[in-house]
Structure 1
């Protein structure tokens, strides 16, 4: 539908052959989508939303790409079209990858590949191809090579010259990167696997669910985490509204309203809470407020403008257990509270919590409060919400201006 207007750049990412022509074509698809009657065949809606999402992804419009592709995937799942679930799931994974959310992308790639192997074998080569590119970008060159080699074998068997050419181009790039890494061709450690191993170890030793365990847990955790905390680019800082930092109330209110609608209509479950793509209100907030100055002033780390953001919503009983993020979100994270409702007289309220060298740091964020931290190297989570309690947040990801000097090396492996 838009194939002729999309190509791949040197990094093998989709880009427009002509931005104006692609934008016009996307506009026509959106007009058709809006004109569909309410009782229209959901198949047409699924196809239109998928291609609008692919087009927006190629244009670099990450939030719109995520919104449309998620809608298309939901329709595919609801109608029981497993083939479309795999294909659109791969597109949505690509959109998360392009937006810098490697963790969400990884889960979607794994799910699509598993579904293809079990239910849609004719799509296994596509799933391997997309997953291989994802692994290549994360630095897991050995894993990328294995996935692409399997895809190549399957595509040679299909006798599809164009597919073989596409996979060979990806495999050539991986092998070039391996060669550049050194004559020994040893690929660097997989940062995603490193994060997962540490998260697994943390959750086997402590939990946000039972703060009464923390004092008992901490001494062993402190010693094990010393090698990580020594590399932190940013130490957690709780910035209180109108005391440490003041944000315009009208902009906070606009984001809170947008977040509530986004979570209700397009929210998706992720790690036990609801996430949703940000929209115009969050983008306007980031354009009007100098968030780079907030991060730099409070942490000493000079960062670029936020490259990614997401709304997060919790309701009663939900929590987020201790974990460390994958590196793709950036060297600094800023979580800003948009809304926190709790019953009057509640004995305990939910808080964002960190493990640092001194113990556990709980940050009960009020609306307008924010916390800045290094998500990839600071174990963090959220304590459970009490009955009647709800929290809405927006999280921004920042990359350091000079990443070369802030990329840690020789990080310790998770204890066994």
Structure 2
């Protein structure tokens, strides 16, 4: 009900993508709940109270969240629906954790995990994921890593790229915390702080909005960017010769359009939507790991996450930034559709900043670009009149664990003094 309005913050806690929109949506659910007749189906009541509680938790309304989630859990228990009991217990555990009551949270997580293992094996990965995040926050990094690795194995077996990506992001954060704990002298800047610092610095010194500024901007940022990109594991490469099956590209383009229309959400200046069956079929039938490995020399695993991305309005652009390390050591952006006006004077491109300047890639449908999103500054120039761009972005982990950057703070951080 509210998934498209919820994302994760630096600590992997759920927060609104747009606070006002989420508050409005929660209010509508509360209106629906109040409008239910006394003899209403308790399943509907349980679903509404659960989502109202989750929404209020994301908005920071802890007491209200706890009240509604307890009500939903009581309804699930009274109906004998143990599957709903597990799912709602995890939500209530999160609500207690967000409110600072770690003891109550632990009891709920442990109970949910035990019930899932004994009665609902399809929910074990979810229980492990929530318990792992709790352990990470509590400081039990070894326990968190063990729970998340088990969750990752189960989710890889499920083949759900979105779930795999969520667990890999949590596991990557735990690995980074372990690394920093083992080497406190190596720098104590958190990964998200590091990427945030670089993104803020880039946006204060240049912009993807006005390419005419690039020649003027670059001399002032050359040294810093060279220091950053010296650590690249993958150099940007525009791949025009990949013969991906046209029917798979078309199917993803159609799925992306439907997902963006139904559940698309604005994030960082672009439209995002979760991938579905068409993207999973594509990833299963096309050896994307081989494409990345052959073109970059970095041996990678099959993609562990993916997201649809769209630019739909004239002037829409994505300013320069670097990604979180959890997305992967290599990224592949595949163009699914690029509509452009014949009369249009400008064409939107994916653009990178490297040691020698700016590089623009005009991607046509079926073409892709591989790069290191966590270290290579990248963005998209503004759409011209009549343009629409639909892409899919995949993240890959290096097969060699030693090639995975566990301490980005050891690379340079832009001077902010």
Residue 254 (str. 1) matches residue 234 (str. 2): no
Which structure 1 segments of 5+ residues have no match? 1-45, 51-71, 91-111, 127-147
| CA deviation after TM superposition for structure 1 residue 293, in Å | 1.0
Residue 304 (str. 1) matches residue 301 (str. 2): yes
| CA deviation after TM superposition for structure 1 residue 338, in Å | 0.5
Q: Rate the CA distance shift 1:123–1:169 in 2: closer, same or farther, 3 A.
A: farther
| CA deviation after TM superposition for structure 1 residue 267, in Å | 0.9
Task: Tell me how far apart the structure 2 counterparts of residues 336 and 85 of structure 1 sit (CA, whole Å).
Answer: 34
Corresponding residue of 2:199:
199
Aligned-pair Cα RMSD in Å: 3.7
Q: Verify the 8 A CA contact 2:333 2:369 in the aligned structure 1.
A: yes
Q: Verify the 8 A CA contact 2:345 2:384 in the aligned structure 1.
A: no
| CA deviation after TM superposition for structure 1 residue 245, in Å | 1.6
Corresponding residue of 1:14:
none
| CA deviation after TM superposition for structure 1 residue 78, in Å | 3.8
Query: Which of residues 138, 149, 163 is equivalent to 1:171?
Result: 138
| CA deviation after TM superposition for structure 1 residue 222, in Å | 1.6
Task: Tell me how far apart the structure 1 counterparts of residues 49 and 217 of structure 2 sit (CA, whole Å).
Answer: 47
Task: Tell me how far apart the structure 1 counterparts of residues 352 and 228 of structure 2 sit (CA, whole Å).
Answer: 13
TM-score w.r.t. structure 1 length?
Answer: 0.63
Q: Rate the CA distance shift 1:182–1:275 in 2: closer, same or farther, 3 A.
A: closer
Query: Which of residues 328, 331, 341 is equivalent to 2:329?
Result: 331
Corresponding residue of 2:370:
372
Task: Tell me how far apart the structure 1 counterparts of residues 222 and 250 of structure 2 sit (CA, whole Å).
Answer: 39
Q: Verify the 8 A CA contact 1:77 1:85 in the aligned structure 2.
A: no
| CA deviation after TM superposition for structure 1 residue 269, in Å | 1.1
Corresponding residue of 1:162:
107
Q: Verify the 8 A CA contact 2:53 2:67 in the aligned structure 1.
A: no
Task: Tell me how far apart the structure 2 counterparts of residues 249 and 164 of structure 1 sit (CA, whole Å).
Answer: 45
What is the SS of the residue equivalent to 2:379? strand
Q: Verify the 8 A CA contact 1:336 1:371 in the aligned structure 2.
A: yes
| CA deviation after TM superposition for structure 1 residue 125, in Å | 12
Which structure 2 segments of 5+ residues have no match? 4-21, 32-47, 69-95, 111-130, 145-176
Q: Rate the CA distance shift 1:403–1:278 in 2: closer, same or farther, 3 A.
A: same
Corresponding residue of 1:347:
345
Number of matched pairs: 299
Per-residue CA distance 1:184-237 (angstroms, 9 max, x = gap): 799953101110111011111111111111001111212012221111000000
Corresponding residue of 2:26:
76
Per-residue CA distance 1:360-411 (angstroms, 9 max, x = gap): 0000101111000000000000001012110000111100001223426511
Task: Tell me how far apart the structure 2 counterparts of residues 215 and 305 of structure 1 sit (CA, whole Å).
Answer: 38
Q: How does 1:13-412 map to 2 (within 5 A)?
A: 76=26, 78-79=28-29, 87-89=53-55, 115-116=59-60, 119-121=61-63, 123=65, 152=100, 154=101, 162=107, 171=138, 173-174=140-141, 181-182=181-182, 188-240=188-240, 244-315=241-312, 316-407=314-405, 409=407, 410-412=410-412
Q: Verify the 8 A CA contact 1:155 1:163 in the aligned structure 2.
A: no
Q: Verify the 8 A CA contact 2:397 2:404 in the aligned structure 1.
A: no
Task: Tell me how far apart the structure 2 counterparts of residues 351 and 207 of structure 1 sit (CA, whole Å).
Answer: 14
TM-score w.r.t. structure 2 length?
Answer: 0.63
Corresponding residue of 1:130:
none
What is the SS of the residue equivalent to 2:383? coil
Q: Verify the 8 A CA contact 1:311 1:395 in the aligned structure 2.
A: yes
| CA deviation after TM superposition for structure 1 residue 79, in Å | 3.2
Task: Tell me how far apart the structure 2 counterparts of residues 267 and 403 of structure 1 sit (CA, whole Å).
Answer: 34
Q: Verify the 8 A CA contact 1:76 1:84 in the aligned structure 2.
A: no
Task: Tell me how far apart the structure 2 counterparts of residues 351 and 329 of structure 1 sit (CA, whole Å).
Answer: 22
Q: Rate the CA distance shift 1:85–1:348 in 2: closer, same or farther, 3 A.
A: same
Task: Tell me how far apart the structure 1 counterparts of residues 99 and 258 of structure 2 sit (CA, whole Å).
Answer: 40
Per-residue CA distance 1:51-103 (angstroms, 9 max, x = gap): xxxxxxxxxxxxxxxxxxxxx9985354357986674359xxxxxxxxxxxxx
